[in-house]
A and B are shown apart, each in its own frame.
Chain A
C-alpha cells in the first residue's frame, strides 16, 4: 500500500493539522536530542535480494578489482575488491561512476547497418546472424581474391587474452595488421626499456619500499598506466612505515600530482632528457653511482673498442663532455643548484628510482620521447636499482599453456609477410605499432589499399593529434566494422556496428600489472546484458568459425569462455575459485640478484638482435643493430640531430615545434584528468562531467589554464572567453588563471569537445588535439603530443 507521506498531509491539512502531526511524530524521533525512543521504531528496509559479484574495471588501464552489489538483478553499487592487489578495496571516481556506463541511455542497443551515406547518421538495426554473415562474406572474399593482408584491425585497451586473441584472429585471416594504440601512449617507455634493459614491457616499481621518487612528467596520481596502484603505493610510503618517502614531480604543470608531491619542479616542456643527463653528470662526476653494478652488469659505460677495432665513446665520457649543470640548467630552465641538490638527494636516499610517464604523450615529439625515456632509465642503472628492493621490477605474468599452432594456411602465411599498413618496422624502423600513422598511409595508398577495417575500443578520429585525417582515410576503406558500445567519432563512419558488452556484462580475463608479481583477475558479468550486444571476443571466434577452413581450425574453442579456461588452467587457482574471488595473485615479487640465475630474464630478455647477456645497455646495442649503418642524412631523416656514438646513447634531442615562436609563443599541453580519464566514453557519464573540472572550479566544460603573469600580459581575466590558436586551427573556451604552471605553457584538459558519443558528451567544451598536426616520429612511430605552439587572445 502506498504510504501517505507527510508532505501530502501538509498539502491537504494545512499548517494547523501539520503542527498536530508534528507533536505525534516528535516522540518517535530517533534518539533526538531531547527525546528518547525505542530503536525498533525505525526500519531499515533492504532494497531486495542482494548478491555480490567480483569483476574488473575498464575505465582506465589500472585494472582495479570491483565487487558489484546486485539487488534484484540490478547493479546498484560498486566497491573496490579488497583482495585485488592493485586497489586493495579502493575505487576512484571513474570506477564508482561506471554504473552510469552500464545504464547509459546512449549505448548502442544492438547490431546496426549503415543506411545512406557514410557519416550521415543513418542506421538500421539488423540481427546478429545477418551482421555476422556480412562480415564473413567480406573476409571470405578478401581471402578468395588472395589479398588477406588488406584486412586491418585497430585496437585500443586490451587486457589479458584479448590482445593475443585479436592478433591471432588477424594472423589467421592472413594479415600482419593488428595495430595497437600503444604508439599514442605507452610505447615510448616500452621502447626505452627494450633499448636499454632489453625488456619489451612496462616495468613495475617497488613503490612501497622506495625512499625517493623522481618523476619526469609522470602524473602518477591522476593519469597513466596504473594510477590507483600508484596512489595506494605512495600513500603507503608516506604514512604506513617509519620513514616517509620523498616524491619529486618534474612537470611544466603542477596539477594535483605536483600539488600533492613533496616538491614540484617546473621544467621547460620537452627538455626532461637534458635534466636527466644533468643529474647523470652529477652522479658520474661526483662518483655517486653504483660502481659494482655499472662495472659488472652494464654495457657501454666506459669507452670501448669493438670487434673491428673501432673506438667508441662510452656513456661516462659522453655525459662528462657534453652535459654539465650549466648546460642542463640552460636547456631546462631549472636552476643548477636545484639540479645538483636533486641529484644528491636521489643518490643518497636509497632505494630511489626515476620514472617516466607510462603514458608517453608528454614525452613524444621527434625522437625526443624515446631518448628521454632512455635517459631517465639510465639514472636507475647508475644507481643499480634494477630488480632491487625499492627499485624497478620486471612485470611477471602467470604461466599459461601455449597457443596451439596456427592451422597450416599458405594464403595467410603469405599475407602475414606483407608490410604493415602502419609502417611499423619498415617506414618507422623501431616501431612495433604506429596507430596514428594509419591515416596518412592509407591516404597515400601505402603500402597497399585496406579493404576491411575492424575497430575495437578504438576511436582514432578523437584520440590522435589531428585525428580528423582518419575521416578522409576512411573514404578509401570500403568496409569498416566497429565493436563500439557508443556511436563515437570513429564508429559513426563505420558501415557495420557489432556492439560489445560494457565491462559489467562481459567475461574477460585481466592480468594484474604494476606490482611485478603475477596475478590474474576475472572480469565477469554482474548483470545480464541489457541489450542485444555480444562480447567482442565471442564475436571474433564466431566470425573465425564462419570464415571456415584454416581460419576456423586456428580457433579450436567454442567460445571465449572455453578459451579462457584453457589459457588460465595453470594460474594457481581453478576456474570456480577465480570466479568467486575475482582475482588470484602470487606475491611477493621474487628479486633476482645481479648476475644470478634468471638474471637474463631481467636484463636482455626481449632483445631481438643484440646479445641477451644480462648487461644493461648505456650504449644500446639493440639500437646499433637497427641504425648502425645509418649515415648522417638517414639519421636526419629519422629526426636524430646527433651523429656517431651519441645516436645509441641517451641524450637530449630538441623537439621540432609546429608554429613559429614569434607568432605562437606558448606550448600547448593537453592534460589527462583523474576525473574524466582517458576513454572517450567516460565523457558521456554525467557524474564525471559534473566533477571533471574540480581543480579549476569548472563543471561540464573545458577550460584553458594560464599562468597569472601570462594572463596579465595578455589582459586575460578569470572566466574570460579566449581563443587558443595554433597553425592548425583555433578553439574557444574559458580562461582559468592558475599559478601552478610555467608562464610559457598553457594546459587544455583532454576528453571534452566530442562531436559524438552521446548527448552528455556531444558539443561540450573543446578538444586540444584538434590544434595539433598529425605527426609520427620517424624513428619510433610514436604520435607526437608536445610539439605544438599556440597563441591565446580574448574572444
Chain B
C-alpha cells in the first residue's frame, strides 16, 4: 500500500503560483469575487504567500530577504482535523491521503480551526461561474452510493457551507487506480501525480510513495535540507520541504 507524499524544494520554487492555479483549474475552486476576496475568503487549496505573512519585517533595507511559502494540505499521518469532525466527513484513506467527503460535511468548521496549517477552506458563498465560463470546469467526479449520494469527492463544484481542501487530486488517483485495475495490476508509484506537481515551473515538486525507500520522495526526505511544517506539534505531515540555499 503506497503512502503518497510530496516534497517541495523551496530553493527551486520561484513563487510563480502555477501550483495554485493548476489546482484551481483541476479542482474547480472558484475565483473569489472582489468583495469576498477582500474578506480573505479566496479558496486556493495550494496557496503561495510571502513568509512570514502579515508584512512582518523580512529585514531592514538593504539587507532584506523575503521568503515565499507554497502550502498544500500537509496530509498529516496524525491529522487533527479528522478527530474533531463530528460527522466523519474528513478521514484518512489507507494510502495516507486525507479525504473530504462533501456529502457528509455539515459546515461546522471545527476542522478549519483544528488544522494548524490553515489549509481547510470554507465555502462562505455559493460559488458562481458565468454560464460561458462554466464550460471549462473539470467534469470528473468521484462518488459512491446507490440511492442516496452518500459520498462525493473530487472536483465537483461544492455548495455553500461545506469545507474543502487539497486531496492530492483524488480524482487523478482514482482514475489511475481504475486504469491499473483494468490492466490487472496494482497502482504503481509513477501512475499519478497531482496537478500542482505536473505544472510546477521550477520543477520544485516531487510526488511519490514514501513507503518505497527507492522513490525520489524517500531519497529527498533524507536530505539535510528537509523539514516539515510545525514538526513539534506531532501531526507528522507527508509534505516535506527542502530549505532554500
Residues of A with Cβ closer than 8 Å to B?
3-7, 9-10, 21-22, 24-26, 28-33, 39, 41-48, 71-72, 74-80, 87-93, 95-97, 99-100, 102-105, 221, 228, 231-232, 234-236, 238-240, 254, 256-257, 259-260, 262, 264, 266, 530, 674-675, 686-687, 689-691, 694-695, 697, 699-701, 707-709, 718, 736-743, 764
Min Cβ gap A48→B in Å is 6
Q: Mark B124-137, 1 if CB is under 8 A from A, else 0.
A: 00000011111111
**A697-B50, A740-B66 in contact; A239/B11 too (CB < 8 A)?**
yes
Q: How far is the CA of A738 from the CA of B50 in the complex (A)?
A: 11
Contact B132 A675 (CB under 8 A): no
Contact B58 A105 (CB under 8 A): no
- On chain A, the residues within 8 Å of B18 by CB distance are 90-93, 95-96
Q: How far is the CA of A6 from the CA of B67 in the complex (A)?
A: 43
Q: Would you call B229 an interface residue if the criterion is a C-beta within 8 Å of the partner chain's C-beta atoms? A: no
Q: How far is the CA of A88 from the CA of B200 in the complex (A)?
A: 10
Contact B133 A104 (CB under 8 A): yes
Known pairs A46-B175, A103-B133, A687-B31; list 7 more (Cβ under 8 Å). A5-B149, A30-B91, A89-B198, A674-B16, A691-B17, A695-B68, A699-B42
Give the number of residue pairs across the A-B interface with Cβ within 8 Å: 271
Q: Would you call B228 an interface residue if the criterion is a C-beta within 8 Å of the partner chain's C-beta atoms? A: no
Q: Would you call B139 an interface residue if the criterion is a C-beta within 8 Å of the partner chain's C-beta atoms? A: yes
Within 8 A of A (CB), among B1-57: 9, 11-12, 14-18, 20-22, 24-26, 31-34, 37-38, 42, 44, 48-50, 53-55, 57
Could you say which of B21, B94, B132, B145 contacts A28, with CB atoms under 8 Å apart? B145
Contact A100 B133 (CB under 8 A): yes
Q: How far is the CA of A370 from the CA of B62 in the complex (A)?
A: 28
**A93-B18, A739-B61 in contact; A75/B136 too (CB < 8 A)?**
yes
Q: How far is the CA of A103 from the CA of B159 in the complex (A)?
A: 22
Could you say which of A28, A44, A71, A738 contacts B171, with CB atoms under 8 Å apart? A44
Could you say which of B94, B135, B141 contacts A45, with CB atoms under 8 Å apart? B141
Contact B95 A674 (CB under 8 A): no
- On chain A, the residues within 8 Å of B149 by CB distance are 3-6
Closest chain A residue, CB of each to CB of B65: A259
Q: How far is the CA of A711 from the CA of B2 in the complex (A)?
A: 53
Binds A, one of B109-117, B201-209, B233-241: B201-209
Contact A266 B62 (CB under 8 A): yes
**A76-B138, A90-B199, A699-B38 in contact; A42/B151 too (CB < 8 A)?**
yes
Contact B21 A96 (CB under 8 A): yes
Contact B38 A77 (CB under 8 A): no
A-B contact pairs, 10 of them (CB 8 A): A3-B149, A42-B174, A44-B171, A44-B178, A77-B25, A77-B138, A254-B64, A690-B37, A691-B21, A737-B55
Closest chain A residue, CB of each to CB of B14: A221
Min Cβ gap B27→A in Å is 10
Contact B104 A6 (CB under 8 A): yes
Q: How far is the CA of A10 from the CA of B68 in the complex (A)?
A: 43
- On chain B, the residues within 8 Å of A41 by CB distance are 144
**A102-B136, A690-B31, A739-B61 in contact; A235/B202 too (CB < 8 A)?**
yes
Q: How far is the CA of A250 from the CA of B20 in the complex (A)?
A: 29
Closest 5 CB pairs of A and B: A47-B139, A31-B94, A44-B174, A686-B31, A99-B136
- On chain A, the residues within 8 Å of B95 by CB distance are 31
Residues of B with Cβ closer than 8 Å to A?
9, 11-12, 14-18, 20-22, 24-26, 31-34, 37-38, 42, 44, 48-50, 53-55, 57-62, 64-68, 82, 87-88, 91-95, 99, 101, 103-104, 106, 130-145, 147-152, 159, 171, 174-175, 177-178, 195, 198-204, 245
**A87-B201, A707-B61 in contact; A93/B9 too (CB < 8 A)?**
no
Min Cβ gap B9→A in Å is 6
Q: How far is the CA of A72 from the CA of B137 in the complex (A)?
A: 12
Contact B67 A259 (CB under 8 A): yes
Closest chain B residue, CB of each to CB of A335: B62
Min Cβ gap B56→A in Å is 11
Contact A76 B137 (CB under 8 A): yes
Q: How far is the CA of A235 from the CA of B201 in the complex (A)?
A: 9
Closest chain B residue, CB of each to CB of A3: B149
Min Cβ gap A245→B in Å is 11
Contact A71 B178 (CB under 8 A): no
Q: How far is the CA of A102 from the CA of B60 in the complex (A)?
A: 44
Could you say which of B148, B152, B199 contacts A96, with CB atoms under 8 Å apart? B199
- On chain B, the residues within 8 Å of A675 by CB distance are 17
- On chain B, the residues within 8 Å of A707 by CB distance are 61
Q: How far is the CA of A264 from the CA of B62 in the complex (A)?
A: 9
- On chain A, the residues within 8 Å of B134 by CB distance are 103
Contact A45 B150 (CB under 8 A): no
Closest chain A residue, CB of each to CB of B99: A30
Min Cβ gap B212→A in Å is 19
Could you say which of A9, A33, A46 contacts B82, with CB atoms under 8 Å apart? A33
- On chain B, the residues within 8 Å of A44 by CB distance are 140-142, 171, 174-175, 177-178
Min Cβ gap B15→A in Å is 5
Contact B61 A256 (CB under 8 A): no
**A30-B91, A76-B139, A90-B18 in contact; A96/B103 too (CB < 8 A)?**
no
**A33-B82, A238-B12, A239-B11 in contact; A7/B159 too (CB < 8 A)?**
yes
- On chain B, the residues within 8 Å of A90 by CB distance are 18, 199-203
- On chain B, the residues within 8 Å of A742 by CB distance are 61-62
Min Cβ gap B161→A in Å is 9
Q: How far is the CA of A43 from the CA of B177 in the complex (A)?
A: 10
Q: How far is the CA of A89 from the CA of B158 in the complex (A)?
A: 29
Min Cβ gap A711→B in Å is 11
Q: How far is the CA of A28 from the CA of B152 in the complex (A)?
A: 12
**A232-B201, A235-B204 in contact; A4/B147 too (CB < 8 A)?**
yes
**A30-B91, A742-B61 in contact; A93/B136 too (CB < 8 A)?**
no
Closest chain A residue, CB of each to CB of B173: A44
Closest chain B residue, CB of each to CB of A5: B149
Could you say which of B12, B48, B151 contacts A694, with CB atoms under 8 Å apart? B48
Interface centre among B16, B106, B175 (most CB of A within 10 A): B16
Q: How far is the CA of A26 from the CA of B144 in the complex (A)?
A: 12
Q: How far is the CA of A93 from the CA of B17 in the complex (A)?
A: 6
- On chain A, the residues within 8 Å of B66 by CB distance are 254, 256, 259, 695, 740
Could you say which of A231, A238, A699 contacts B11, with CB atoms under 8 Å apart? A238
Min Cβ gap B67→A in Å is 7
Interface centre among A79, A95, A260, A737 (most CB of B within 10 A): A260
Contact B25 A99 (CB under 8 A): yes
- On chain A, the residues within 8 Å of B26 by CB distance are 77
Contact B202 A25 (CB under 8 A): no
Min Cβ gap B148→A in Å is 5
Q: How far is the CA of A79 from the CA of B38 in the complex (A)?
A: 30
Min Cβ gap B165→A in Å is 15
Could you say which of B58, B99, B145, B199 contacts A91, with CB atoms under 8 Å apart? B199
Closest chain B residue, CB of each to CB of A692: B17
Min Cβ gap B24→A in Å is 6
Q: How far is the CA of A700 from the CA of B40 in the complex (A)?
A: 12
Closest chain A residue, CB of each to CB of B43: A690
Q: How far is the CA of A39 from the CA of B32 in the complex (A)?
A: 35
Q: How far is the CA of A675 from the CA of B16 in the complex (A)?
A: 7
Min Cβ gap A710→B in Å is 10
- On chain A, the residues within 8 Å of B178 by CB distance are 44
Min Cβ gap A418→B in Å is 45
- On chain B, the residues within 8 Å of A78 by CB distance are 25
**A3-B148, A97-B21, A708-B61 in contact; A80/B68 too (CB < 8 A)?**
no
Min Cβ gap A481→B in Å is 26
**A43-B144, A700-B37, A739-B64 in contact; A260/B15 too (CB < 8 A)?**
yes
Contact A97 B25 (CB under 8 A): yes
Contact B61 A266 (CB under 8 A): yes
Contact A79 B21 (CB under 8 A): no
Q: How far is the CA of A269 from the CA of B150 in the complex (A)?
A: 61
Contact A74 B144 (CB under 8 A): no
- On chain B, the residues within 8 Å of A10 by CB distance are 106
Contact B91 A32 (CB under 8 A): yes
